[in-house]
């Protein structure tokens, strides 16, 4: 029975370690000193010396005296010439595009008084359809990164553009050897044109493209493009190590499609079935109906086994697996609506996948052959050849455009050595990164929010980026630099507009595209590299070569940090807990539980991983349920040395461990693992707030749902003299009467994929402080919204865990966004001695910071553990200067939402249900003399969600979506968390339904 | 010894005298202000009569002049058009009437003087005014009789207002000085008198005590036995005094403490002597003309310099205050006004909510802004003040479909209480604090 399924948040809870048991009872780690004494003598720290007390007392008196003096003179400085479209206090929105590390998102930029402060998805985009990834959400802060360069640099010294230009132009003309522009994937047709124009000036020129997390193998097997996958048409999805919801190719686009087949109602209970074969427990694997843990070397065998069943005729080692057989049968049955994807960067595997999809009739349905994707164009082979050429001395000049190969390429040492042999090296990076440091010139590019650009992520889909702020520093758009050095002095804006003339026609057409940000069914010159296809025989040879023995390493990408580019120095992303491990501020070695037992490696123990290529890395171990046996996983994107104050020396760089062959890079390798001695604590948020075995999440399976929708959710009744009753039937409380609005939220656990986009969206909207690794370890993170990740296995509560041999071998995972439940009978409200938390006439649980005296009674009484206490003055405590630069530095503060208070020390805070947005929406309606329209007022989290798992609205409005969903799901999937304590939350969850095989 | 006791004994008396002096001065000053005010009025009136013209006619002309002519003309100063004082002597009335009605027609018809003026002022046309003869005559009458440097000075501009203020306070100063002097002399004479009297009394008393055997009645008179001072020394009186003192002190510190951070009547000096009285009061320029976002946004923005330039690219170009705006524009340095109304960061306030939705007048919170030469903070801007208004103010629900259902519900409750802001949740924390 699924009702009695046991959930646990981590190995600690599963084993109920003494530390865990102790922490579970202490919501606020009181034993932790507030003073900065970590690592020093603890006994000394506990004494609060009398002198300190007197000092504080004296200071307090002085402060009180000072406070009573005259208020300081404040200035009001208006514009000299007010731009017509800017009204102080009113937000302006501009359409633009985010494309970083291969992650494409069409965005709307919210600006206040000329400062971009928030990004939201552009609903007009046919690619991302209003969704936005966590990385894109956070990217607005990168604009105000304190580590950005403020002027161009020549030989390590700041200088001006005139000098740089004349020097570079003279040295370029005198360059002996090939001139190379090295970039990641560029999907901008006009940028490519500019690069081509630049290259045309030289006798020998090459544009080398590589991707940090490469998909060369996929491109080679698919005529140089990424197939136009359409998960929304798929009834059976089989993914072999492709984390398509989290990090693979275009996760937001795929998540939008994927979720269309996962939303169910009684009337329409068709649901896709999703099989995942993978090594590390990824975000996609967590959402799969059936997940099978395999070693990286088995990926090719799994694909080959499918190939042999579906297509046949391949000489491959035999591989069989009960779940695989079932999956293949499902795939064949769903012919025409089946889709197989594979994450391996291996032409042989991808060639087989293409053939399988063709045989399954995917092309035309689940693969749109008319709209292939261009978001990956990196060619590993070309890059490896280029690195060799550099070391051979054949390169005259290199321009590093948006790339940092000294950090993010496995051959970083060769790149570093090769750069010294190149006559002229120019980096267009926005900061002195690992590569730029070694370059002769750094000509900083604008941030994308300061730039004009165009993008073509898919055939027929185009979008524009427009500047939303004047350049903050003396930077210059990279394309303009290239054009200038090619002797073309046109601004990039004119260049771009001229290139688009064929599409937009006149100014009116151009204005419309700039306004919408996107335009569809048009293309601009997009040349795609083509590769020789691989024969079946060659595939067979490659397959038989790929046998490996021993422990295998799978290098993976994290949802938040990505490939470690500009995202790395973004504190919001560093503090965003990994969806699965819930770890922040570090990378680590994920090891299966069996390895932990066999080798005696405990959580947080430092282990040394030595790869087959001799390179080694030392990181703490994290015991990961679901990790395939005899494998380990390490995330890229960490170990930056020159990214900025936030990212420097966080974690270790795993890129050098990847296997480089002539024809490509493999992110798997065999390794040896040994204990390195010592430990480094991993800052996980997962066990900070525990559920103590209560029913918090609910799930069921599709068959049960189809049989009886009312049976999928467990209901709790309480005993009364008149027999068992619903908890809400018995109440000590008077109910509130809501006349005007009654705000509420429905969260569909079936739709939530756990990506964390809402968490970042909430941080940006509500000025949530970043606290850094040590404070996360102290269990003092400030996120108003968290995504709880529960593991579960078929062990039932009655059985205890003993019935299971190893529950953590391959657990199922369930995500649950948890935020203030805005209870109608809120336990926090009754215990506040100063009425700082009260109930509004619209159903909101209000938190008034200026009334709060910090007793923390409310948090102790909150059953959902969603209240956060300001232990420090995060905006001005120098301890947080680096990690919390969005609040501590003048530059960073430009990102703050001016409508939301930055909280002071000693007050409690929590989700306000974005009351500022509610108030604004109501005001707009009042100004127009009408009622608010459903969908007009949306919280930041609901807005951010790429899978529309969160529905926010007015439950009093009979036409609202939330009302309709609640009426439909009442008695079926709808449940409130901890119903038995009769808090009557305004947040309703919908039971997760799995399509179990 | 004697002098010591003397001082002790008569200390209350001295204090009384000093207090008396101070009150008197204060009263005198108050009176003096009132006097000046009156004088100002009569002076104008006298002058108007002296002009010999019909005062009523002139005052009608005053209004017409302000509403129609003052944006381009002043009496003693060239603004857009020429200064007008003495124009009635310079040109015949008939000529003036036809010029005011339609100047361009006159220019076209080739009137020599008209063409000359037209050319002199850069061929800028004066608009036509459809006035009746009487109206034009009244304007001319006003021009003839208008006082020099009076409040009716033509061109709008802070300098004009300030000039007037200076002039009046200058007059006040003259009179005030005499009064002050007179008072000082008076008080000095009084003090001298009292001191002399006291000395005489003491000397007489000492003489009587030393040299004369006094009759009991006389003894009682000279050296009264009933010691009034001893009454003051009783514990009851002492306790009472101490209690009153402590209460007063507490009251004072309470009031002081409660006024911390409250800047009511805060009236800082602004970098440019802009007068709301002149712009909003005399010229009746709508608040929204300059504070463009007051009905749209949370901020009622401080106008940007380009809004000033809408008029001041033509008007009062020579004023040193206006030149500051030109300088700001030329140097590309924004004007740094001193912010008067400061709400703490923890309070969210939205102008449009109050102006557009609530229909609240600007003056409700900002006071008689149209009479302020220099703006000051009229309201305390405390939370109590906000809440109080929310409690008392009925919601402006008229014709707003947002409130229709709420009003029905409220009326259905059949309570006589008005549907105020608070009854719609306007006193809840999260309405202003988030």
Name the E strands within A797-947. 812-818, 837-839, 845-847, 868-869, 908-909
Contact state of B332 with A80 under an 8 Å Cβ cutoff: yes
Q: Are B118 and B239 in contact (CB under 8 A)?
A: no
| Residue A921 confidence (pLDDT) | 93
How many beta carbons lie within 10 A of that of residue B236, not counting itself? 8
Instruction: Bin A854: left if φ > 0, else alpha if -120 < ψ < 50, else beta.
Output: left
What average pLDDT score do residues A100-123 get? 91
Nearest CB to A81; choose among B298, B306, B409:
B306
Nearest CB to A78; choose among B298, B303, B329:
B303
Residue of B nearest to A931 (CA): B402
Contact residues on chain A for B407, CB-CB shorter than 8 A? none
| Residue A659 confidence (pLDDT) | 86
Given a cut of 90, whether residue A917 has pLDDT beyond it is yes
How many whole angstroms separate alpha carbon A634 and alpha carbon A637? 10
What are the angstrom distances between the C-alpha of B154 and each of A787, B80, B83, B103, B150? 69, 11, 9, 20, 9
Contact residues on chain B for A826, CB-CB shorter than 8 A? none
Q: Residues with Cβ < 8 Å from B141, sequence gap 6 or more?
A: B53, B54, B57, B58, B61
How many whole angstroms separate alpha carbon B386 and alpha carbon B379? 10
Angle at A794 between CA A277 and CA A725, to 5 degrees: 130
How many beta carbons lie within 10 A of that of residue A924, not counting itself? 15
Q: Are A577 and A689 in contact (CB under 8 A)?
A: no
What average pLDDT score do residues B73-94 get? 78
CA proximity to A230, closest of A323, A336, A325: A336
Contact state of B434 with A739 under an 8 Å Cβ cutoff: no
| Residue A550 confidence (pLDDT) | 85
| Residue A809 confidence (pLDDT) | 67
| Residue B366 confidence (pLDDT) | 92
Residue with tokens 């009442």: A970
pLDDT bin (cut points 50, 70, 90) of residue A845 is very high
What are the angstrom distances between the C-alpha of A382 and each of A185, A206, A379, A386, A414? 13, 10, 5, 6, 15
| Residue A925 confidence (pLDDT) | 93
Residue of B nearest to A68 (CA): B260
| Residue A426 confidence (pLDDT) | 92
How many whole angstroms separate alpha carbon A739 and alpha carbon B402? 12
- Per-domain residue ranges of chain B: 51-156, 383-434
User: Encoding tokens for residue A111?
Assistant: 């600006």
Given a cut of 60, whether residue A806 has pLDDT beyond it is no
pLDDT bin (cut points 50, 70, 90) of residue A629 is confident
Say yes or no: A990 contacts chain B, CB-CB below 8 A.
Answer: no
Nearest CB to B433; choose among A75, A841, A849:
A849
Contact state of A74 with B339 under an 8 Å Cβ cutoff: yes
| Residue A714 confidence (pLDDT) | 85
DSSP A943-960: HH-TT--EEEEETT-TT-
How many whole angstroms separate alpha carbon A715 and alpha carbon A979? 8
What single DSSP character describes residue A834?
Answer: T
| Residue B155 confidence (pLDDT) | 38
What average pLDDT score do residues B85-92 get? 81
Contact state of A90 with B293 under an 8 Å Cβ cutoff: yes
pLDDT bin (cut points 50, 70, 90) of residue B3 is very low
Q: Residues with Cβ < 8 Å from A384, sequence gap 6 or more?
A: A411, A660, A662
The secondary structure of chain A in percent helix, strand, coil, rounded to multiples of 5, reads 30, 20, 50
Q: A974-993: buried (b, 16+ CB within 10 Å) or exposed (e) per residue?
A: bbbbbbeebbbbbbbbbbbb
Given a cut of 50, whether residue B361 has pLDDT beyond it is yes
Dihedral (CA of A743, A749, A755, A756) sign: positive
Q: Are A135 and A100 in contact (CB under 8 A)?
A: yes
Share above pLDDT 70 across residues of chain A, in percent, rounded to a whole number: 91
Residue of A842, A849, A926, A958 to mutate for B, most B C-beta atoms under 10 A? A926
User: How confident is the model over B253-301, as pLDDT tens digits?
Assistant: 988 887 777 888 888 889 999 999 989 888 888 888 899 889 989 988 8
Q: Residues with Cβ < 8 Å from A707, sequence gap 6 or more?
A: none
| Residue A777 confidence (pLDDT) | 87
CB-neighbour burial class of residue A821 (10 A; exposed 0-12, middle 13-18, buried 19+) = buried
User: How confident is the model over B204-217, as pLDDT tens digits?
Assistant: 888 887 776 777 77
Contact state of B401 with A929 under an 8 Å Cβ cutoff: yes
How many whole angstroms separate alpha carbon B2 and alpha carbon B15? 20
Given a cut of 50, whether residue B164 has pLDDT beyond it is no
| Residue B40 confidence (pLDDT) | 35
Contact state of A842 with B425 under an 8 Å Cβ cutoff: yes
Average pLDDT, chain B: 77
User: How confident is the model over A543-569, as pLDDT tens digits?
Assistant: 776 666 788 999 999 998 988 888 889
What average pLDDT score do residues A699-717 get? 85
How many whole angstroms separate alpha carbon A828 and alpha carbon A864? 10
| Residue B175 confidence (pLDDT) | 63
Closest chain A C-alpha to B107 CA, distance in angstroms: 38
Contact state of B328 with A80 under an 8 Å Cβ cutoff: yes
Give the pairing of strands A75-76 and B337-338. Answer: antiparallel
What are the angstrom distances between the C-alpha of A482 and each of A157, A194, A910? 21, 7, 48
Contact residues on chain B for A929, CB-CB shorter than 8 A? 399-402
The HSE-up count of residue A746 (CA atoms within 13 Å, CB side) is 25
User: How confident is the model over B297-349, as pLDDT tens digits?
Assistant: 998 889 998 888 888 888 888 888 888 898 999 998 989 999 999 888 889 99
What average pLDDT score do residues A789-810 get? 58
**Through-space distance between the first and last CA atoms of chain B, rounded to whole angstroms:** 71
Contact state of A76 with B406 under an 8 Å Cβ cutoff: no
Contact state of A90 with B337 under an 8 Å Cβ cutoff: no
How many beta carbons lie within 10 A of that of residue B213, not counting itself? 7
Contact residues on chain A for B399, CB-CB shorter than 8 A? 929
Q: What are phi and psi of A492, to 5 degrees?
A: -65, -30
What average pLDDT score do residues A405-413 get? 90
Instruction: Bin A284: left if φ > 0, else alpha if -120 < ψ < 50, else beta.
Output: alpha
* Domains of chain A, earliest start first: 2-18+702-994 (3.30.70.20), 96-134 (no CATH), 153-216+377-520 (3.40.50.740), 227-359 (3.40.228.10), 550-684 (2.40.40.20)
Q: What are phi and psi of B27, to 5 degrees?
A: -60, -45
Q: What are the helix (H) ranges across B53-132?
A: 55-64, 87-90, 93-101, 103-109, 112-120
Closest chain A C-alpha to B335 CA, distance in angstroms: 6
User: How confident is the model over B178-209, as pLDDT tens digits?
Assistant: 888 999 999 999 999 999 999 998 898 888 87
Establish, for the pair of chains A and B, how many residue pairs have beta carbons separated by less than 8 Å.
150
User: How confident is the model over A636-676, as pLDDT tens digits?
Assistant: 989 998 888 888 888 899 999 988 886 788 888 888 999 88
| Residue A66 confidence (pLDDT) | 59
pLDDT bin (cut points 50, 70, 90) of residue B6 is very low
Nearest CB to A840; choose among B257, B292, B430:
B430
Closest chain B C-alpha to A826 CA, distance in angstroms: 16
Residue of A nearest to B396 (CA): A926
What are the angstrom distances between the C-alpha of A879 and each of A35, A386, A904, B279? 11, 44, 15, 51
Closest chain A C-alpha to B352 CA, distance in angstroms: 8
Average pLDDT, chain A: 86
| Residue B226 confidence (pLDDT) | 66
DSSP A35-66: SS-TTS-HHHHH---HHHHHHHHHHHHHHHHH
User: How confident is the model over B374-411, as pLDDT tens digits?
Assistant: 999 999 888 999 999 999 988 888 888 888 888 888 88
User: Encoding tokens for residue A900?
Assistant: 């939301």
* Complex confidence, ipTM: 0.82
Residue of A nearest to B340 (CA): A74
What average pLDDT score do residues A710-718 get? 84
Contact state of A926 with B342 under an 8 Å Cβ cutoff: no
Given a cut of 70, whether residue A345 has pLDDT beyond it is yes
What average pLDDT score do residues A705-716 get? 85
Contact residues on chain A for B328, CB-CB shorter than 8 A? 80
Residue scoring higher pLDDT (A87 or A55): A87
H/E stretch holding A994 reads: strand A992-994
Closest chain B C-alpha to A565 CA, distance in angstroms: 35
Residue of B nearest to A904 (CA): B346
What average pLDDT score do residues B144-151 get? 64
How many whole angstroms separate alpha carbon A717 and alpha carbon A915? 33
| Residue A505 confidence (pLDDT) | 78
Nearest CB to B409; choose among A80, A89, A739:
A739
Residue with tokens 């007050």: A907
Nearest CB to B334; choose among A80, A89, A902:
A80
Closest chain A C-alpha to B172 CA, distance in angstroms: 32
How many whole angstroms separate alpha carbon A756 and alpha carbon A783? 11
Residue of B396, B430, B432, B433 to mutate for A, most A C-beta atoms under 10 A? B430
Instruction: Determine the topology of domain B51-156 in CATH.
Output: Cytochrome Bc1 Complex; Chain D, domain 2 (1.10.760)
Q: Are A996 and A290 in contact (CB under 8 A)?
A: yes
Say yes or no: A774 contacts chain B, CB-CB below 8 A.
Answer: no
Say yes or no: A73 contacts chain B, CB-CB below 8 A.
Answer: yes
Give the pairing of strands A786-796 and A236-240. Answer: unpaired
Q: Residues with Cβ < 8 Å from B100, sequence gap 6 or more?
A: B129, B131, B136, B139
| Residue B7 confidence (pLDDT) | 45
How many whole angstroms separate alpha carbon A493 and alpha carbon A495? 5
Beta-bridged to residue A817, according to DSSP, are A787
CB-neighbour burial class of residue B52 (10 A; exposed 0-12, middle 13-18, buried 19+) = exposed
Q: Residues with Cβ < 8 Å from A579, sequence gap 6 or more?
A: A246, A283, A286, A559, A754, A755, A756, A787, A789, A815
| Residue B106 confidence (pLDDT) | 81
Do you know the residue count of chain A? 997
Say yes or no: A88 contacts chain B, CB-CB below 8 A.
Answer: yes
Dihedral (CA of A305, A307, A308, A313) sign: negative
Given a cut of 50, whether residue B221 has pLDDT beyond it is yes
| Residue A237 confidence (pLDDT) | 92
Residue of A78, A842, A957 to mutate for B, most B C-beta atoms under 10 A? A78
What average pLDDT score do residues B42-57 get? 48
Side by side, the strands of the sheet bearing A153-154 are A157-158, A153-154, A441-442, A424-427, A395-401, A178-183, A205-209
Nearest CB to B430; choose among A73, A80, A846:
A846
């Amino acid at each position: 029975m699924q009702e009695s399924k046991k959930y646990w948040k981590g190995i600690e809870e599963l084993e109920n370690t003494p530390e865990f048991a102790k922490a579970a009872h202490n919501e606020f780690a009181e034993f932790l000193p507030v003073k900065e004494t970590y690592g020093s003598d603890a006994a000394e720290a506990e004494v609060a010396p009398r002198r300190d007390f007197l000092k504080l007392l004296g200071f307090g008196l002085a402060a009180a005296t000072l406070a009573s003096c005259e208020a300081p003179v404040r200035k009001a400085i208006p514009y000299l010439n007010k731009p017509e479209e800017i009204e102080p206090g009113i937000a302006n929105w501009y359409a633009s595009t985010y494309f970083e590390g291969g992650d494409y998102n069409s965005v709307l930029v919210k600006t206040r008084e000329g400062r971009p402060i928030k990004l939201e998805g552009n609903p007009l985009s046919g690619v991302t359809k209003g969704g936005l990834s966590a990385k894109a959400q956070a990217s607005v802060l990168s604009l105000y990164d304190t580590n950005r360069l403020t002027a161009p640099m020549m030989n390590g010294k700041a200088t001006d553009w005139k000098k740089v230009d004349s020097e570079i132009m003279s040295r370029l003309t005198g360059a002996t050897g090939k001139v190379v522009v090295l970039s990641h994937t560029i999907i901008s047709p006009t940028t490519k044109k500019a690069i081509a124009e630049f290259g045309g000036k030289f006798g020998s020129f090459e544009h080398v493209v590589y991707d940090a997390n490469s998909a060369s193998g996929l491109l080679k097997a698919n005529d140089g493009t990424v197939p136009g996958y359409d998960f929304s048409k798929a009834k059976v999805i089989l993914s072999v190590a492709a984390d398509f919801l989290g990090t693979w190719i275009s996760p937001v686009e795929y998540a939008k499609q994927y979720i269309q087949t996962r939303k169910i109602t009684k009337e329409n209970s068709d649901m896709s079935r999703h099989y995942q074969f993978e090594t590390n427990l990824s975000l996609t694997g967590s959402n799969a109906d059936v997940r099978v843990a395999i070693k990286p070397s088995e990926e090719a065998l799994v694909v080959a086994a499918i190939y042999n069943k579906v297509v046949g005729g391949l000489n491959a080692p035999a591989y069989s697996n009960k779940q695989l057989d079932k999956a293949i049968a499902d795939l064949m049955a769903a012919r025409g609506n089946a889709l197989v994807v594979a994450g391996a960067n291996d032409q042989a595997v991808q060639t087989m996948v293409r053939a399988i999809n063709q045989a399954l009739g995917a092309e035309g349905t689940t693969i749109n052959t008319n709209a292939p994707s261009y978001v990956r164009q990196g060619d590993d082979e070309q890059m490896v050849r280029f690195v060799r050429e550099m070391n051979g001395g054949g390169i005259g000049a290199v321009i590093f455009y948006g790339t940092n190969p000294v950090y993010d390429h496995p051959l970083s040492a060769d790149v570093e050595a090769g750069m010294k042999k190149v006559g002229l090296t120019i980096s267009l990076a926005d900061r002195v990164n690992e590569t730029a440091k070694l370059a002769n010139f750094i000509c900083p590019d604008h941030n994308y929010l300061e730039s004009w650009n165009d993008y073509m992520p898919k055939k027929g889909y185009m979008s524009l980026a427009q500047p939303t702020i004047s350049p903050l520093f003396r930077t210059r758009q990279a394309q303009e630099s290239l054009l200038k050095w090619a002797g073309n002095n046109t601004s990039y804006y004119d260049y771009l507009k001229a290139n688009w003339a064929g599409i937009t026609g006149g100014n009116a057409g151009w204005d419309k595209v700039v306004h919408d940000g996107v335009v569809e069914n048009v293309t601009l010159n997009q040349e795609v590299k083509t590769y020789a296809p691989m024969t079946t025989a060659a595939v067979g040879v490659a397959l038989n070569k790929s046998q490996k023995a021993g422990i295998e390493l799978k290098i993976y990408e994290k949802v938040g940090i990505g490939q470690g580019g500009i995202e790395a120095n973004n504190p919001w992303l560093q503090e965003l807990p990994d969806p699965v491990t819930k770890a922040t501020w570090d990378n680590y070695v994920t090891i299966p539980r069996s390895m932990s037992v066999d080798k005696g490696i405990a959580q947080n123990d430092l282990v040394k991983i030595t790869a087959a290529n001799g390179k080694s890395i030392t990181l703490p171990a994290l015991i990961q349920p679901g990790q395939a046996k005899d494998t380990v996983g390490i995330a890229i994107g960490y170990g930056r040395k020159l990214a900025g104050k936030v990212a420097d020396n966080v974690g270790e760089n795993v890129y050098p461990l990847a296997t480089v062959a002539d024809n490509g890079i493999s992110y798997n390798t065999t390794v040896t693992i040994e204990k390195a001695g010592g430990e480094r604590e991993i800052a996980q948020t997962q066990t900070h707030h525990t559920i103590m075995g209560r029913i918090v999440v609910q799930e069921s399976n599709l068959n049960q749902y189809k049989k009886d929708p009312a049976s999928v959710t467990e209901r709790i009744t309480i005993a009364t003299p008149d027999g068992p009753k619903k908890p809400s039937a018995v109440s000590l409380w008077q109910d509130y009467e809501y006349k005007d609005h009654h705000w509420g939220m429905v969260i569909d656990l079936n739709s939530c994929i756990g990506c964390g986009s809402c968490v970042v969206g909430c941080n940006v909207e509500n000025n949530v402080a970043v606290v850094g690794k040590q404070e996360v370890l102290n269990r003092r993170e400030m996120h108003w919204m968290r995504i709880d990740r529960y593991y579960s296995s078929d062990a039932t509560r009655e059985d205890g865990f003993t019935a299971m041999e190893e529950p953590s071998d391959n657990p199922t995972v369930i995500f649950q966004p948890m935020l203030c439940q805005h209870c109608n009978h809120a336990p926090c409200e009754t215990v506040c001695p100063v009425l700082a938390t009260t109930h509004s006439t619209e159903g909101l649980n209000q938190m008034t910071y200026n009334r709060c005296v910090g007793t923390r009674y409310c948090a102790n009484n909150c059953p959902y553990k969603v209240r956060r206490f300001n232990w420090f003055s995060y905006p001005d405590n120098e301890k947080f200067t680096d990690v919390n630069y969005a609040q501590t530095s003048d530059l960073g503060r430009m990102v703050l939402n001016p409508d939301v208070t930055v909280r002071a020390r000693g007050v409690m805070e929590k989700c306000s249900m974005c009351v500022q947005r509610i108030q604004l929406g109501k005001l707009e309606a009042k100004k127009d003399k009408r009622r608010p329209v459903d969908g007009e007022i949306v919280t930041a989290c609901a807005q951010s969600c790429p899978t529309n798992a969160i529905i926010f609205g007015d439950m009093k409005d009979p036409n609202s979506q939330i009302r309709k969903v609640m009426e439909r799901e009442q008695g079926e999937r709808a449940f409130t968390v901890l119903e038995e304590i009769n808090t009557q939350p305004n947040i309703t969850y919908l039971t997760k339904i799995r399509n179990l095989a | 010894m004697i002098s010591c006791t003397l001082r002790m004994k008569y200390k209350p008396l001295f204090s009384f005298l000093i207090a008396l002096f101070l009150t008197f001065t204060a009263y005198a000053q108050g009176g003096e202000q009132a006097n000046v005010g009156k004088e100002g009025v009569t002076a104008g009136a006298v002058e108007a009569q002296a002009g010999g013209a019909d005062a009523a006619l002139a005052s009608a002309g005053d209004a017409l002049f302000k509403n129609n002519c003052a944006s381009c003309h002043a009496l003693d100063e060239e603004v857009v058009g020429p200064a007008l004082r003495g124009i009635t002597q310079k040109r015949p009335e008939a000529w003036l009437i036809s010029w005011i009605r339609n100047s361009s027609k006159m220019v076209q018809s080739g009137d020599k003087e008209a063409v000359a003026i037209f050319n002199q002022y850069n061929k800028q046309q004066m608009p036509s005014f459809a006035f009746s003869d009487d109206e034009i005559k009244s304007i001319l009458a006003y021009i003839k009789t208008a006082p020099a440097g009076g409040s009716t000075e033509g061109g709008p501009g802070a300098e004009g207002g300030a000039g007037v203020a200076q002039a009046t306070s200058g007059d006040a100063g003259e009179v005030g000085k005499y009064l002050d002097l007179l008072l000082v002399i008076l008080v000095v004479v009084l003090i001298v008198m009292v001191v002399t009297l006291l000395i005489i009394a003491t000397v007489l008393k000492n003489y009587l005590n030393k040299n004369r055997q006094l009759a009991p009645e006389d003894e009682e008179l000279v050296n009264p036995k009933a010691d009034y001072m001893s009454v003051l020394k009783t514990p009851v009186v002492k306790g009472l005094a101490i209690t009153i003192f402590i209460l007063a002190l507490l009251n004072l510190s309470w009031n002081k403490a409660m006024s911390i951070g409250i800047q009511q009547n805060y009236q800082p000096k602004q970098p440019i002597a802009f007068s709301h009285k002149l712009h909003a009061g005399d010229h009746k320029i709508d608040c929204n003309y300059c504070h463009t976002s007051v009905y749209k946004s949370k901020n009622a923005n401080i106008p940007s310099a380009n809004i000033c330039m809408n008029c001041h690219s033509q008007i009062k170009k020579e004023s040193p205050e206006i030149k500051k705006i030109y300088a700001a524009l030329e140097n590309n340095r924004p004007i740094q006004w001193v912010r008067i109304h400061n709400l703490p960061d923890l309070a969210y306030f939205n102008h449009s909510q109050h102006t557009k939705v609530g229909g609240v007048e600007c003056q409700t919170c900002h006071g008689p802004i149209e009479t302020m030469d220099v703006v000051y903070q009229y309201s305390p801007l405390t939370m109590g003040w906000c809440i109080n208004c929310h409690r008392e103010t009925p919601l402006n629900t008229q014709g707003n479909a947002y409130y229709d259902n709420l009003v029905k519900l409220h009326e259905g409750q059949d309570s006589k209480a008005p549907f105020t802001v608070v009854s719609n949740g306007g006193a809840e924390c999260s309405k202003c604090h988030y």
